[in-house]
Structure 1
Amino acid sequence: MATTERKLSVPAKPREFGFFIDGTWRQGRELYDRASPAHDTVVTRTPRCTKEDLDEAVAAARHAFENDSWATIPAAGRAAVLLRVADLLRGRVDEIAYWEVLENGKPIAQAKGEIGHCIACFEMAAGAARLLHGDTFNNLGKDLFGMVLREPVGVVGLITPWNFPFMILCERAPFILASGCTLVVKPAEVTSATTLILADILTEAGLPKGVYNVVTGAGSLIGQAMAEHPGIDMLSFTGSTGVGRSCVHAAADSNLKKLGLELGGKNPIIVFADSDLEDAADAVAFGVSFNTGQCCVSTSRLIVERSVADEFERLVAKKMEKIRVGDPFDPETQIGAITTDAQNRTILKFIDKGREEGATLLCGGKALNFGKGQYIAPTLFTNVSPSMAIASEEIFGPVLSSFRFDSVAEAISLANDTVYGLSASVWTKDLSKALTVTRGVRAGRFWVNTIMSGGPETPIGGFAQSGWGRESGIYGVEEYTQIKTVHIETNKRTHWIS
């Protein structure tokens, strides 16, 4: 592990934010102090909104949706705004990355890279807005013509997590806006800054007031109220499966609102003996360590062919030991700080549990002390059995469990031995094996001889308890629409009553 001198520093005093409703900034009556998880210094102060603030935000979004300022303008007009946002983001990469690092703890180089993806999301959504269309049925006979129209759902509530505060926002918001919907966003309380900064950018780009609103505060209060709110037509939530389940109950008990859910994962990476083992080892180390493993699609289960398992685990451990952990402001850092105190404790408890249950620790397995902040060394366990907690439960940290297989069928069975189905990866030079595994493993995203690749053109989402619906691409715009079937009689009616 290595660190170098910090290139940036914490602000002299915390930046204080308001919340954003109907195109104007409001001051919070109570503020939440967020300390940087890497520097142990308060860096931002954001409002703790009330249910009354949420009601105002929903009313503003409803008015904007009904007043023809966004939903009914030509798609080209919506696309133009989204493209202007992309241009404005290019000029504010350093600012957004800075606040993302301070609140989240991720490395500065990673944060900047994510903003590049966010720019691509706005550009993709602009194109998708102009491509969104319905269908026609000219086969109903000479007297009847059928149409299928796609219309925006209405007011969308968007709840985003703390692990990718800006990126997940930008994998949803531009596509929601492209559909013609209006938005009320609630970011995670510990990482609200960049969601609020986007409000200024959208306004500068020409988004009408009331189309994008931000309320901040605790998920247990504001997030729950959003799930229950009868004025919200659809809720998009990214986070744990447990909280996603509570969103389902809340939606059922209120107005049966439509839900989009991206939830937990326990994602496998399957490595065959015929693969390029050096490449695969690097992918495994990256897959479990990227964003300190605080990633829904983190590859937390290694499933490796038995004949090369010992050799391959040594390669992975060697890679993981070389990962540069430290101050996220250092441009050479690859893993930054754990984002929250609670998550830090959770990861360390899982590591202890792995030891207690008999797994063999090959590397890591400890907290790292740099004098400030909270850091955990990338950790690899072998001799893991399916009954162990580290084998089945989502850890959401840089902890990898290794399993072994002897046949293609066994590899697929091990990969599917989970309640989740978010992502998976397979490594082999045999196309037949790759396709067999791709077809057999239940996951919403799949990678062959690569990991965490792709762009906003393709949809993201999960199977089973990893969620409902899809985000990004044209699918991500369609997700926020509803279908209306129209029949048009072209000739005089044949009377039923003569």
Structure 2
Amino acid sequence: MLIGGDWVSAQSGKVFPSENPYVGKVWANVPDGGAEDIDAAVVAARSAFEGEWGALSAQARGKLMLRLGDLIAENAEEIARVESTDNGKLYKEMLAQAQYLPEWLYYFAGVADKFGGEVIPSERANFHIYTRHEPIGVIGAITPWNSPVLLLGFKLAPALAAGCTMVVKPSEHTPASTLRFAQLFEEAGFPPGVFNVVTGGRDAGEALSKHPGINKIAFTGSDVTGKRVMQAAAENFTRVTLELGGKSPNIVFEDADMEAAANGVIAGIFGATGQTCMAGSRLLVQSSIKEELLEKVAARAKTIKLGDPMDMATEMGPMATRPQFEKVMGIIDRAKSGGARFVSGGRASPDHDGFFIEATIVDDITADMEIAKDEIFGPVLSVLTFDTEEEAIQLANDTRFGLAAGIWTQSGQRGTRVAHKVRAGTVWINAYRVVAPNVPFGGFGHSGIGRENGFDAIRGYTETKAVWVELTGATRDPFNIG
């Protein structure tokens, strides 16, 4: 683990295994950190925040971030290989993410010295009033197993730009790529303690969430775990950003470009094996075109190539973890028992070892069924129909989540109307699964609190301070000092 610039074992001496989900076997052992390791990392991060890192100008921080971005680009292939081996997602997807990640460092490096306060007009002539945005302090980041390094970057880049330091606890299922990523900080020239990594399980995550030395927790994961993180953080009034799950609708109207919509539906749910918070896991299709669209989507789903994530020809890899594989199969089995019709898939792949599930499409369901309302985080598409625009909006919003939505229509007016009425943090019209460092990302309801990316993100890593300067210096009545 990386603590205060040193590579260390867990103080307990314990380690835990990480499985390669493609073969279902252990490929790495990493330190099993606990509360005492979290303590050490927080002390290191606080020391850097109050010391060398805190003394740097915004311009100097930005230059270090630019160097880190360059190093990520130079090492993208290796980071992607480690990540794909650890979580089973396609190497080509992990490589695309690693190659895109530098843009977060470049964007926020540019923001670092441009995010300032403002002068506020005063009703009192003897006062000059201005605001400062000061770094909130030490950040505790808890990252998920599906895209560990990219989703770490969503938190790290704005935090560094704001002047914060960080302790990250990656998922115990996929810790390896974060450790490889951490090696770049010393090479980039960051002061020790600015970035710290403690690997471990639930105990380490809880210790980080409730630590009194942490000023903000940035978490990505399920809404169930997000509640626990928020409850732990509340003990110390620790600020939180929660980027949680989704049950996002892909809404297809009868006037949509059918080929484009079919491709968007397939990419929205079967890309990344459905293991993405923004997965378009609910297909809401207008009744008049349901059979035509479903035929196209099902035909393509049945040809999706499963296999070795490192093979560039593979289109869908395994589930990232054994528990996730078992969870998804349980949901599928209960849907079968409930009378759902499986248009494709619905079983573990008989042709592969590891944690493979076939691309699955489920029809003849109701909106209150588990498979239609709960986040699955796997390659499972639930199909619901509507007749009118109003019904489509009602179905789209009939969820506790509100992370993302797709709308497929050739009417710009309809697309805009529906986008404004759907309760989701991101809405794509005739597109799906597009993000950028300068565009806010986050959700409504159980999909989280706060936003990552864009200026909204850096605001979340600062405290706003108002400064009143009395200009005359005149002696005043102590009970009326204004």
Aligned to 1:14: none
Give the whole-Å Cα distance in 2 for the aligned partners of 1:370 and 1:318.
Answer: 19
TM-score normalised by the chain length of structure 2: 0.97
Match of 2:347 among 366, 374, 381: 366
Aligned to 1:406: 387
Q: SS in structure 1 opposite 2:152?
A: helix
Q: Does 1:417 align with 2:398?
A: yes
Task: Please state how far the C-alpha of 1:451 moved relative to its aligned partner.
Answer: 0.3
Task: Please state how far the C-alpha of 1:418 moved relative to its aligned partner.
Answer: 0.3
Q: Does 1:238 align with 2:220?
A: yes
Which range moves more in the overlay, 38-47 or 222-231? 38-47
Task: Please state how far the C-alpha of 1:50 moved relative to its aligned partner.
Answer: 2.1
Aligned to 2:88: 105
Task: Please state how far the C-alpha of 1:110 moved relative to its aligned partner.
Answer: 0.7
Aligned partner letter, 1:296: C
Q: SS in structure 2 opposite 1:71?
A: helix
Aligned to 2:33: 49
Which range moves more in the overlay, 258-267 or 367-376? 367-376
Task: Please state how far the C-alpha of 1:494 moved relative to its aligned partner.
Answer: 6.0
Give the whole-Å Cα distance in 2 for the aligned partners of 1:460 and 1:155.
Answer: 22
Which range moves more in the overlay, 485-494 or 377-386? 485-494
Q: Does 1:200 align with 2:183?
A: yes
Structure 1 stretches of 5 or more lacking a match? 1-18
Equivalent runs, 1:184-195 vs 2, <5 Å: 184-195=167-178
Aligned to 2:6: 24
Task: Please state how far the C-alpha of 1:413 moved relative to its aligned partner.
Answer: 0.3
Contact 1:117 1:455 in 2 (8 A): no
Give the whole-Å Cα distance in 2 for the aligned partners of 1:408 and 1:160.
Answer: 37
Q: Does 1:492 align with 2:473?
A: yes
Equivalent runs, 1:407-446 vs 2, <5 Å: 407-446=388-427
Aligned to 2:365: 384
Give the whole-Å Cα distance in 2 for the aligned partners of 1:180 and 1:234.
Answer: 13
Structure 2 stretches of 5 or more lacking a match? none
Equivalent runs, 1:202-221 vs 2, <5 Å: 202-218=185-201, 220-221=202-203
Give the whole-Å Cα distance in 1 for the aligned partners of 2:476 and 2:105.
Answer: 52
Give the whole-Å Cα distance in 1 for the aligned partners of 2:277 and 2:213.
Answer: 29
Task: Please state how far the C-alpha of 1:42 moved relative to its aligned partner.
Answer: 2.2
Aligned partner letter, 1:31: V
Q: SS in structure 1 opposite 2:394?
A: helix
Which range moves more in the overlay, 411-420 or 42-51? 42-51
Match of 1:82 among 36, 40, 65: 65
Q: Does 1:154 align with 2:137?
A: yes
Q: SS in structure 2 opposite 1:79?
A: helix
Contact 1:71 1:152 in 2 (8 A): no
Give the RMSD, CA atoms, in angstroms.
1.3
Aligned partner letter, 1:61: A
User: In the TM superposition, what whole-angstrom CA distance separates every residue of 1:208-244 from its partner, at most 9, and x where no partner exists?
Assistant: 10110110100x2000111111111110111010111
Q: SS in structure 1 opposite 2:398?
A: coil
Which range moves more in the overlay, 318-327 or 374-383? 318-327
Aligned partner letter, 1:348: M
Aligned partner letter, 1:440: K
Aligned partner letter, 1:236: A
Q: In percent, how many aligned pairs have the same letter? A: 39
Aligned partner letter, 1:39: V
Give the whole-Å Cα distance in 2 for the aligned partners of 1:169 and 1:487.
Answer: 37
Aligned to 2:327: 346
Aligned to 2:49: 65
Task: Please state how far the C-alpha of 1:127 moved relative to its aligned partner.
Answer: 1.2
Aligned to 1:135: 118
Q: Does 1:229 align with 2:211?
A: yes
Q: Which consecutive segments of 4 or more residues in structure 1 shift more than 6 A?
A: none
Equivalent runs, 1:265-280 vs 2, <5 Å: 265-280=246-261
Aligned to 1:318: 299
Contact 2:340 2:363 in 1 (8 A): yes
Give the whole-Å Cα distance in 2 for the aligned partners of 1:52 and 1:189.
Answer: 17
Give the whole-Å Cα distance in 1 for the aligned partners of 2:89 and 2:367.
Answer: 31
Q: Does 1:251 align with 2:233?
A: yes
Q: SS in structure 1 opposite 2:424?
A: coil
Q: Does 1:262 align with 2:222?
A: no
Contact 2:41 2:198 in 1 (8 A): yes
Give the whole-Å Cα distance in 1 for the aligned partners of 2:256 and 2:352.
Answer: 41
Contact 1:107 1:333 in 2 (8 A): yes
Which range moves more in the overlay, 431-440 or 128-137? 128-137
Aligned partner letter, 2:313: E
Give the whole-Å Cα distance in 1 for the aligned partners of 2:408 and 2:127.
Answer: 53
Contact 2:264 2:432 in 1 (8 A): yes
Task: Please state how far the C-alpha of 1:497 moved relative to its aligned partner.
Answer: 5.5
User: In the TM superposition, what whole-angstrom CA distance separates every residue of 1:293-334 from its partner, at most 9, and x where no partner exists?
Assistant: 011000000111111011111111112112221110111111
Aligned length: 477
